[in-house]
Amino acid sequence: MKIILIAFLILFFMPSIAQSGVYKNIDESGNVTYSNIRSNTTEQLDLPPITVIPGIDSSAAQSTIQKRIESIKTEEKREALESKFAEEENRLEELENEYKGGTPDRLGKERMNYQRYLDRVERLKNEIDVSEKNLEILNTELQHLPSTNK
């Protein structure tokens, strides 16, 4: 009978031992320490209850993050291609203005050396052809980029 009484008393007082609090102690030097052991110089802290936030499915989040990264890369590539396209358009416009439909103005020494003039006309024609091909290639690359939804 005594054993049952002792076991009952132990079980009765066990929850109060398990529910120890958090205590704050400030020593003479002003140092603050926290502990779960009560003493004469400690004050018990009243802490708010712990909030538990359920976890999320990280695979879905990872998939969303990956899609966003791909979207950003695509948009950066689109901006770079559009910038190159605009530069090439400006270059082509400058070349065509100088070329003047195959009869550009003669410059400096070209007035006395007709072959030098013909060489420049041919060079301008070739540069215009290259610039037009570059624009076609850039336009094709832009069209093949996937669309991004902002």
- As given in the structure block, the two tokens for residue 93 are 């416009």
CA 64 – CA 44 distance, rounded (Å): 45
Per-residue pLDDT 10s for the chain (150 aa) are 677 767 666 666 655 554 568 889 988 898 999 888 888 888 888 888 888 888 877 888 888 899 999 999 999 999 999 999 999 999 999 999 999 999 999 998 888 999 999 999 999 999 999 999 999 999 999 999 987 665
pLDDT at 149: 62
Q: What share of the chain is helix, strand, coil (3-state, %, to 5)?
A: 65, 10, 25
Predicted TM-score (pTM) of the model is 0.57
Q: Using the CB atoms, write b or e for 78-100: b if 16+ within 10 Å.
A: beebeebbeebeebbeebeeebe
